[in-house]
Each structure stands twice: as structure tokens, then as C-alpha cells.
Chains A and B, each alone.
Chain A
Amino acid sequence: MVTENRSYNAQKVIERLAKKVNRQMAGSLAACVHCGMCTQSCHYVLANPDDPTFAPAYKADRIRRLFKRHLDWTGRIIPWWVKAGSVYTDEELAELMDTVFGKCTNCRRCTLNCPMGVDLAVVNRMARGLLVSVGVMPEGVAVVSKDQWEIGNQMGVLKEDYLETLDWMSEELQQELKDPAVGIPIDKFDCEVVYSINPREVKYDPRSIADAAKIFHFAEENWTMPSEGWDMTNFGLFSGDDDLGGAVARRLYEKVEDLRGKKLVISECGHGYRSTRCEGPNWAKYDVPFEMESSVITMLRYIKEGRIKVDPSKNDISVTYHDSCNNARSCGMTEEPRELLSYVVKDFREMHPNRAENYCCTGGGGAMSMSEYTPRRLKSAVVKADQLRATGAGVVVTSCHNCVDGLTDLIRHYKLGMQVTQLVNLVANALVIEERVAIPVEIVPEVTAAGSLAGRKILVVDDEPDILTFFASVLADNGAEVIEAREGQEALLKARSEKPDLVTLDISMPGQDGGKVFEALRRDPDLALTPVCIITGRPELRRLIYDRPVPPPDGYLDKPVNEETLLLNVKKILKVV
């Protein structure tokens, strides 16, 4: 074999390539047919239509050529045909860095639009990891990774400063609520919720911590914040360094285990949520024995379980929602934030495209920490700016700190005059704080129950006899007139003849599924305004509802449903006080 003349770093990159490429990457590297479907899906391309180097397929080819040359048999036999190539000099590594760090935010929108299922982000992240392993990376990435390795969080916040800030927020809350019992418990054992945050919150803007504490307080949650292992962000996702990713995730998991916590709740951060909940267990090779949940879902749960009360008129603003790429595209969290918003604001305006098809905030993939690419980032943000402007909303809500900063930057650059906020701020602001009166527990059902649904006609649709009987008896006990249906066709007939005030509709049924029934109800002029509450044991089936071009349902309930939750939600939809 001919000895090739490579720089030390280039040689290391080639040697390490084989260890990095797993089956998923090999599939993505082999499968591209250069059809060009990805091109129009990328915000960089849309903003730079004359520069082919931004095309996802082109960017992937910078990495693909190495795979073809060094790992794939085709590159050994017909390298000119499969465009195999290699890297030899440090200048070539710098060029590769410019592509993988500076021309892609790993947002995965192209992946969603690829008929071959090529995941550019996973390949791009792998290439970042290779470069980082030889010290070739933007300075911002190096600084942040070092802090996360050495100090334990990405902003180098020292333990005493972290604890002092939490104390400070506790004091502020005590003053605001005039209640010395309010506060942020630290390192409490056996809690239901261990709450983890982004260092940005504690270092620069702890108002979101105080807001979360307020919500936990009114929900009467048994919660705590850990004194260590509290940073749920993870630069390993951005830098492609799985070792860093694993070390950071492990710190969180071990602390929750030490505290014997039941659930790790992750504050609103897209990459933090994905790293901690989805990727971390693999990077850390850790069998996580507790549940992990986004705070968005926690807050929604509190409202649906009746643990907190909110008043949307307290947020007198017009809002739109920006889906973070990691939450929506990579973790499938698209409906919960919208449902939560429906409880805390009145004027919601959808952004288009949205959910998994939404465009990147342009600050993803660690882009906010790489100043050298800022002009390029802001230029590509014209796509996002157009999207925001078209909503006509005054405020854009997002469940990701990175998006907050990316959006704030582009809103300023394009002079959109919009505000950026997060759900935790809106929920805390909408809280209805009542005078607490001690009522003996056993009296509660009598006070709230008897006759409160009197005069209401409810159609219960479910194919499971047990559930049908349970729903019917709970609702009838509370005074409602209940009509039952076991499948879709029967449900539609009864809805048309009985004209109920509310329909509770199971999604998964034999024959006509709940999605079709729902659309038929909405399309029937006599029934279009009848409130519908969707019931399902498999949240992924909600897809059957989302994709329909009719107004959304009035509520969702996940099985198993208990009596309290059922009544609370039914009353909420029927506006029964």
C-alpha cells in the first residue's frame, strides 16, 4: 500500500472514521441518490439560492467522500465514479469545519424531506466529533465544552453562586407571595420531581426559575432542585463528542438516583431535552430507572389534573408558537405546547409551516456560541423572519432557550418588533391564586359533584365496554344524560339524532377510527361546533387527528383516565363552574 502524506490531524481523522461510523450513519452515507429533494428544505439554501455549497446533499458529500474512499468497497474499485476522496492537510480540515459547524445547524429538516431517509444531521454531528477529537473546532465550542467538562456546566457557574441565586429567587418569591413557606428546596430526598435547568437561567435570567418554583408551589408538588448535576444542557450534542455527552448526562442521572427522585423534569430547552431524555442514556450507557419529562408536559398535567388554575385573560397578547427542531422534529413534542398555550392565552396564531416542518430558529446546533458564523446565520434567518412576520403576532413563544436567543437576534436584525417568551413565563403569569380555605377532604366530591352536569347530554364513544361503562357511570352520577356508542358509524348516527353537548371520542376503534369520525363531525354543519374531547391510550395516535384539515378538538385525555381528571376536563370544556 502506498503511504499517503497526511498531516498528523488529518491522519487521526481518517483512523478514527471507522470507529465512528455506525449502521445508521453508513445507511445515510450510502443511500443518497442526489435527487435534490433536500435542497429546498434547508433555510441556508433558501436564503442563499446561488450558493450550491449550502445544499444538504453537497454538505453530506464532504463527509461521504471520506466514507467512500476509506470504508466503502465501491471507493476502492471505482473511486472516480463514486466521488471518493480524502483529507490530507490541516487546511482541508479547516474547510470541513467551516461546512459542518458553519453551514448546518443539525436541525434535521432535510432529513424529514429525504425520500431515502438520509439523516444529514447524524452524519454532520459525527464529522464534528471527528474534528473535535483532533482539536479542530470553533473557539466558542471549545470554551463551552471545557467548562462543561471541568466545572460541570456550560457557563462555568460555581456551586456557591448557583445556590446563592436559588436562595435569592426563594426570597423574591416569599416577598411576592407574602408566604415564608415558599421556596426552592435543595437536595430533598424522595421527591416526585427533581427539576433541572439551563445554566443561562441561573447566570443571566433567573426569572424563569422563580416562575417554575411558583408553579410547583401552587401545584403543591413535592419537588427539589439538585445542588449538583443540575445542568441539563449538553454540548456533546453540538460538538459530536459522545464522551462529553455521556459524562454530562451521567451527572444528572446519578444525582437524581442519589436523591431517590421519581421523575427528572427538564426545563424548556430543546437540545437539553433531547440530550437528557433521548440521547443521554445511550451516550452514558446508563439504564435510567426514573421517568424523564419536559416541564411543558408537567405544566400541562397540572392544569389537566386541576392542580393549578390559570386564566388566559391575564396574558393579553397575540402569540404564535415556534417549534424547536429538537423538541418537534427529533422528539415529537408538537401538540402539548399548543394545548398548554390554549389554556394560557386567548389569541393564538399558527405559524406556517409548523410542527415537525417548522424552519430552524437559525441558532441551533450550538450556532449561538460561534460568533464567526453570525453574519451567515443572520442572512439565513430571512426565512424565519418572513415566517414570523406573516403570523402578525406580537409575541413568539418557544420551548427552547437556544431558540429564544436565535429568535431574539433575528427579530432585532430584521426589525420585527416582536417579543420572545417561554411557556413557563406565560403559565406563571396566568396563575389564578386563590385564598386557601381548608375543606375536609371527604366533603369535596359532594360540593363539586352533585348535579353539576345536569341538563348536559354527553355522547361517549369507545369500543371497550369497561371504559364505556366507567365513563357513563361517572358522568351520569354527576347528572349528565349519557348516550353510548361502540363504534364510529353508530357514533355519527347518534350524534346526528341526539345533538349532544359534548362527544368523548376514542381514537383507536375497529372499523371507522376516531380520526375519521372526528373529521365527519367537524364537517357536518349541524355538529361542527359540538365540543369533542379525544381519548386515547396511545398519544402517537393523535397523529390521526392532527393531520385533518378541520378545527382542532376541544380537549385531549390520555388513558388511563381517572374520575377526577375526566370530570375536571369535561367541566372545563362545557364551561361548567
Chain B
Amino acid sequence: MATFEHGSVKIEVDEDGFMAEPENWNQDVALALASTEGVGAMTESHWKVANYLRDYYKQFGIAPMIRKLCKETGFSLKEIYDLYPSGPAKGACKVAGLPKPTGCV
């Protein structure tokens, strides 16, 4: 475990920079994490993706399929990658405060 500090935000993260305690997530944390994932500014579209991931994770305890994310937010695959250049698994999930997705990612 490591500590990630950015401005006034101080959180515990795993060695890949994902939140160790997802329940401590808030908007300030998201903004801080976004700065590490090549996201310039968190626009309304960014929040829409992050909030959906957050809700899905709270309900099912895992990250959703990219299909669900696109369908529910109305964004195309390309738009998701434009919003989060490091992709849905690493970029968007990290900003939304999810733990690191499992498997070869």
C-alpha cells in the first residue's frame, strides 16, 4: 500500500494507484486521480461515466462490461477512450475510485 497525495487529498492506494478504500471516494478524490490519468478537466461527460461506474460497483462489487457502460451512458466506445485516454479499465475505473480490475489488465 502507498499514500497518494494531491492538493488537499490524501488517500491510501494500491501499488498500481487504485483506491485501497473505495468507500472514501468523493469528487475531490476523483479530480485528484484524474490528474494522473491524462484527463485534462472533469467535464459533465467525465462525471457521467465515473458516476455510472461508481453506482454499478456499489451494486455488484465489480466493474461493468464496456458494453453496459456505453449503453447506459450513451457514449460510443471511441468517446469513452477520448474521455479517458488510458481506457475504461485503468483510467475510468481508477478515477471512479474502483479497485484495480482483476485479470490481465
Contacts and interface: CB of A to CB of B under 8 A. Distances in A.
A233 B14 CA distance: 25
A388 B70 CA distance: 34
B102 A155 contact: yes
A449 to B, nearest CB: 44
Given A165-B65, A371-B14, A374-B16, A205 B87 contact: yes
Nearest to A206: B66
B15 A375 contact: yes
B102 A204 contact: no
B62 interface: yes
B100 A204 contact: no
Interface in B27-52: none
B104 A233 contact: yes
A384 interface: no
Nearest to A153: B103
B58 interface: no
B22 to A, nearest CB: 14
B9 interface: no
A369 B15 CA distance: 11
Interface in A104-160: 140, 143-144, 147, 154-157
B102 A205 contact: no
B93 to A, nearest CB: 9
B88 interface: yes
Contacts of A408: 86
A200 interface: yes
Contacts of A371: 14-16, 18, 100
A168 interface: yes
Interface string B86-100: 111100000000001
A369 B77 contact: no
A405 interface: yes
Contacts of B86: 408, 412
Given A206-B77, A374-B16, A369 B103 contact: yes
Most chain B C-beta atoms within 10 Å of own C-beta, residue among A143, A172, A233, A368: A368
A207 interface: yes
Given A204-B88, A205-B87, A374-B15, A155 B66 contact: no
B15 A147 contact: no
Contact of A165 (B14, B16, B67, B105): B67
A157 B89 CA distance: 14
Given A168-B67, A202-B65, A154 B103 contact: yes
A326 to B, nearest CB: 12
A203 B93 CA distance: 13
A276 interface: no
Contacts of A373: 15
Given A207-B77, A374-B16, A161 B104 contact: no
Interface residues of B, number: 21
A204 B105 contact: yes
A207 B102 CA distance: 20
B68 interface: yes
B105 to A, nearest CB: 6
Nearest to A201: B66
A405 B100 CA distance: 13
A501 B89 CA distance: 52
A161 B103 contact: no
Contacts of B102: 140, 143-144, 147, 154-156, 369
A372 interface: yes
A573 to B, nearest CB: 37
Looking at chain A's contact residues, the main secondary structure is helix
B62 to A, nearest CB: 7
Contacts of A375: 15
B66 A205 contact: yes
B105 A405 contact: yes
A27 B28 CA distance: 57
A267 interface: no
Contacts of A147: 102-103
B82 to A, nearest CB: 13
Nearest to A148: B103
A164 interface: yes
Contacts of B16: 371, 374
A504 interface: no
Nearest to B15: A374
A405 B66 contact: no
Contacts of B68: 161
A324 interface: no
Interface in A335-386: 366, 368-369, 371-375
Interface in B1-32: 14-16, 18
A275 interface: no
B67 A402 contact: no
Contacts of A531: none
B75 to A, nearest CB: 13
A369 B88 contact: no
A245 interface: no
A409 B11 CA distance: 22
Contacts of B87: 204-205
B65 to A, nearest CB: 5
Interface of A: 140, 143-144, 147, 154-157, 161, 164-165, 168, 172, 198-200, 202-207, 233, 366, 368-369, 371-375, 401-402, 405, 408, 412
Given A198-B104, A369-B104, 4 more contacts: A161-B68, A204-B101, A206-B67, A371-B100
30 contacts: A144-B102, A147-B102, A155-B101, A155-B103, A156-B102, A161-B65, A165-B67, A200-B89, A200-B103, A200-B104, A200-B105, A202-B65, A203-B65, A204-B88, A204-B89, A204-B105, A205-B87, A205-B88, A206-B66, A206-B67, A207-B77, A233-B104, A368-B104, A369-B102, A371-B16, A371-B100, A373-B15, A374-B14, A402-B104, A405-B105
